[in-house]
Amino acid sequence: MSEFHDSDPLRTLFAEYEDDTAPQIRAAGVAAATIAVRRLRKVRSTLIAAGVALLFAMPVAAYALMSRPTGPPVTPGSPGPTVSASPTPRPPATPVATEPVPAGGISRDELRSATFDVPAFVENEGYVPCGSGSIAFINGSGGMVLSENNRQLIIGGVSYADIDGNGQWETIVHLECSQGETGPQQLIALRRAGSTIQTVGAVVKTDAEIQQFYDFTGMSDGTVQVNVRSGRICCDVPYSSMQHQVRGYGWTGQRFEQVLGSRSFHSDKVNLQVTVSKLVFGKPTAGVRTGTVMVRVSNTGPVAVEDVILLLSLRHAEVAGPGWAAERWLPRSPARHFETLRPGENLELDLSVTTTQANVNEVGVQIFAFSAMTNGDLLADSKPDDNEGSGNLAGISPEIQFG
């Protein structure tokens, strides 16, 4: 850089700083990193085995179980109605199964080595857009297909929707312009046109408002439902610091338009606070111990919370007692809904868990509180740091929860 000279006194000062500081640096080392990764993977596999999703760390995927409303998956190949208004009542839309690939659909494996038009990403603060236009994807690890200064255009999840109801299913593809751990995203619809793949259009793109998608699925009514966020989960950002909504998009014949869900994020900032007592275990009975922890959720904000959701992240433990079930927004994790909590009100419950673990110090119990509206929208908390609590140190696993 011509404007900064070698004789720059600052360069000398920085060199002195490096000389002075470098000897004091203590690298934990590759071995420590290896142990950390092993531990990370062990915890992940434990959580998966226990049925707890890596809900805060996972990138976007076509999550076919996202259920609004509940019901069996549609058999691919059945006709998909259009999204235009109809005077006759219809059965509720259900998620479309991704296996086997429906008629006209394109498999993810085929897409990873295909050529198709990529619409331009929306330029967003802090990120450089990836390329657009006709792009030849090559088969690569993790769907990584393009390398230019570490910007990677990645094919993420794939789902299917018969957007125009003609019996030939379009393929909905998640694309991410990955930069570091996140980046601009878009969902696009593709269809076969002879031997080529034609881009029908963009379903939705991240922009200044929608900062990230979490998951998406094609529905039996030809729409695409997308879980959108008002912020980016990256770098330990708490889940409850941003809003989460499901929005649906339908094909008008010319473009995709929103047909379901809130059209904007809410302005109210709620404030829940979680306090948790120490987790105490009783004596084992037939090898099973029961532990109890007292959970208090306080509404310290200025507005009422219509629907309080408590979510559990458990390690080597299962929740005991009724009312806990997988939650649509936070799938596969034990969650429980509670009624309206007004400003100044508290919610208290004794939470019981069981474990067969001999060493109870290995048991992790972490509780998260979320504010939701009756329509299912999750609201952002003004102090998200206090929306979680743990009955013991083993419950704290930031690399899993917020990675």
Partner 1 sequence: MSENDVGAGPPEFAELYARHFRSLTLQLNAYFGDLEQAQDVVQEAFVRALDKWKKIQNYEDPAAWVRRVAWNLATSQWRRRRMVRAYALRQRQETVAGPGPERVALIRALATIPNDHRRAVILHYIADLSVAQIAEQEGVAEGTVKSWLSRGRAALNSRLAIKEV
CB of 125 to partner 1, least distance (A): 7
Q: Does 69 sit behind a cis peptide bond, omega within 30 degrees of 0 on the bond before it?
A: yes
CB of 232 or CB of 247, closer to partner 1: 232
Q: Write each residue from 180 to 209 as x if it is in contact with partner 1 (CB under 8 A), else as -, in one continuous string.
A: xx----------------------------
Contact (Cβ atoms closer than 8 angstroms) between residue 240 and residue 387: yes
Segment 382-401, which members bind partner 1 (CB under 8 A)?
384-385, 393, 396, 398-399
CB of 398 to partner 1, least distance (A): 5
Query: Hey, what are 285's tokens?
Result: 């009975």
CB of 319 to partner 1, least distance (A): 24
Which position among 238, 250, 291, 389 is part of the footprint of partner 1 (CB under 8 A)? 238
Segment 324-353, which members bind partner 1 (CB under 8 A)?
none
CB of 37 or CB of 288, closer to partner 1: 37
Return the H-helix or E-strand segment holding 284.
Answer: none
Q: What residues contact 259, with CB distance under 8 A and at least 6 apart?
A: 83, 223, 248, 249, 250
Of 269, 281, 290, 286, residue with least CA distance to 387? 269
Separation between Cα atoms, residue 249 and residue 235, nearest integer Å = 29
Segment 19-48, which members bind partner 1 (CB under 8 A)?
20-22, 24-34, 36-38, 40-41
Which position among 14, 78, 84, 346 is part of the footprint of partner 1 (CB under 8 A)? 14
Of 151, 147, 225, 137, residue with least CA distance to 182? 151
Contact (Cβ atoms closer than 8 angstroms) between residue 297 and residue 354: no
Of 48, 128, 96, 364, residue with least CA distance to 223? 96
Of 314, 233, 279, residue with least CA distance to 48? 314
3-class DSSP state for residue 265? coil
CB of 355 or CB of 390, closer to partner 1: 390
> By CB under 8 A, is residue 179 in contact with partner 1?
yes
Segment 116-155, which members bind partner 1 (CB under 8 A)?
125-128, 140-142, 144, 147-150, 152
Separation between Cα atoms, residue 314 and residue 57, nearest integer Å = 16
> By CB under 8 A, is residue 89 in contact with partner 1?
no
Contact (Cβ atoms closer than 8 angstroms) between residue 112 and residue 137: yes
CB of 126 to partner 1, least distance (A): 4
CB of 222 to partner 1, least distance (A): 34
Query: Hey, what are 5's tokens?
Result: 């000279």
Of 170, 196, 169, 173, residue with least CA distance to 185? 173
CB of 367 to partner 1, least distance (A): 16
> By CB under 8 A, is residue 1 in contact with partner 1?
yes
Contact residues: partner 1, CB under 8 A = 1, 3-5, 7-11, 13-14, 16-18, 20-22, 24-34, 36-38, 40-41, 125-128, 140-142, 144, 147-150, 152, 179-181, 234-238, 241, 384-385, 393, 396, 398-399, 402-403
